[in-house]
Amino acid sequence: MATKLCTSPKPPLLPAAPPCPLSFPSKSTTNSQLTKPFLLISTIPKAHRIPKIPLASFRNNNIPFPPESETGKCPVPLDQQPINEYKALSNSFPFSWASADLVEYSSRLFLTGAAFAVLVGLPVSWFGSVGPESDPVKRVMAGVSSGILVMTLLVVRMYLGWGYVGNRLLSATVEYEETGWYDGQMWVKTAEVLARDRLLGSFSVKPVLSRLKNTLVTLAISLFICVLIFLNTESSQKNGYITSDEAGGRAVPGVYNDESARTFEPDAFCGEPAIL
């Protein structure tokens, strides 16, 4: 009798997976991945930098003001801020002469002194005294000295004004008045404002003060020379007059002498003893 073989059922066939194609990253994906670190670096906030002020702006009086966010709100009124005082002084008379070039400064100062000496000093010294024709050098020296004196006063006034503004620029604090009723206040400059003001004071105000000092020394020497000439002229005129005692018995025109009178008029001295 034939035996029946039992066979196990076949497992179901699974559908074959489609072949996986080789894929390469696209160009846009690669660029985005490569530039991502640089984008992260660029998003890091940069450190705060102090703006640089060129020196040419100070020479042309074009002084840039830092923004309010950097300096903070300044409580000092505009007309009392040192930088505005410097700009106002640079454009005012006669303080603007000192900041000009050397030729213009010297010519203006010389013309001012010469005009005063010719129009005021010389007429007063010539017509305001007795006998001006006897000593003209003395009168001319008086007129020249008056012109030098006026120039000296003008330079002193300019020096005081520039010195005041220079001290306020170089100082770390600013004294000001809010209402004009002498309620003095004080404001401490920020780092940016202090650096700007001291740069301006060192390169713009100090050279002007040095020029004014040299001018004062020159004017003082000139005035001293004029005074010496004036005194020598006066002493030489005094030495030109000879008294009767210095004449030694000689007859001097314009000077009375008893001995010469006895010689020419003996009757007038009749009965008087002779003077030995």
**Residue of higher predicted confidence among 210 and 31:** 210
pLDDT at 231: 86
pLDDT at 177: 85
- Among candidates 124, 179, 171, 175, which has minimal Cα distance to 147? 124
Q: How confident is the model over 139-187, as pLDDT tens digits? A: 888 899 999 999 999 999 999 999 999 999 999 999 988 776 667 788 9
pLDDT at 66: 44
**Token pair for residue 176?**
């000001």
On whether residue 209 sits in a domain, the answer given is yes
Distance CA(169)–CA(63), nearest Å, equals 14
Quickly list H helices, the chain: 27-42, 55-59, 68-71, 82-90, 95-98, 102-116, 122-127, 136-170, 191-200, 206-239, 244-247, 258-264
Burial 150-166 (b: 16+ CB within 10 A, else e): bbbebbeebbebbeebb
pLDDT at 134: 59
Q: How confident is the model over 54-68, as pLDDT tens digits? A: 444 444 445 444 444
Q: How confident is the model over 109-126, as pLDDT tens digits? A: 999 999 999 999 888 888
**Token pair for residue 152?**
């000296």
**Residue of higher predicted confidence among 260 and 26:** 260
Asked if residue 51 lies in contact with residue 45, where contact means CB atoms within 8 angstroms, the answer is no
Asked if residue 274 lies in contact with residue 249, where contact means CB atoms within 8 angstroms, the answer is no
Half-sphere exposure (Cβ direction) of 177: Cα atoms closer than 13 Å: 5
On whether residue 15 sits in a domain, the answer given is no
On whether residue 20 sits in a domain, the answer given is no
Amino acid at 7: T
- Whole-number mean pLDDT of the chain? 74
Record the pTM. Answer: 0.60
Amino acid at 98: A
**Token pair for residue 158?**
């300019």
On whether residue 177 sits in a domain, the answer given is yes
Q: Give the range among 32-41, 177-186, 199-208, 260-269 with minimum mean pLDDT.
A: 32-41
**Residue of higher predicted confidence among 221 and 260:** 221
Q: How many domains does the chain have?
A: 1
On whether residue 119 sits in a domain, the answer given is yes
- Among candidates 207, 198, 154, 144, which has minimal Cα distance to 172? 198
Phi and psi of 92, rounded to 5°? -100, 160
**Token pair for residue 62?**
């074009």
On whether residue 201 sits in a domain, the answer given is yes
pLDDT at 19: 54
Matching residue, tokens 């020159």 = 218
On whether residue 221 sits in a domain, the answer given is yes
Length of the chain: 276
Q: How confident is the model over 190-248, as pLDDT tens digits? A: 999 999 999 999 999 999 999 999 999 999 999 999 999 888 876 665 555 544 455 45
| Mean pLDDT, residues 85-112 taken together | 94
Whether the per-residue pLDDT at 83 is higher than 60: the answer is yes
pLDDT winner (highest mean) among 91-95, 236-240, 268-272: 91-95
Asked if residue 109 lies in contact with residue 218, where contact means CB atoms within 8 angstroms, the answer is no
Range of the domain at 193: 101-235
Distance CA(90)–CA(28), nearest Å, equals 62
| Mean pLDDT, residues 254-273 taken together | 66
On whether residue 126 sits in a domain, the answer given is yes
pLDDT at 1: 45
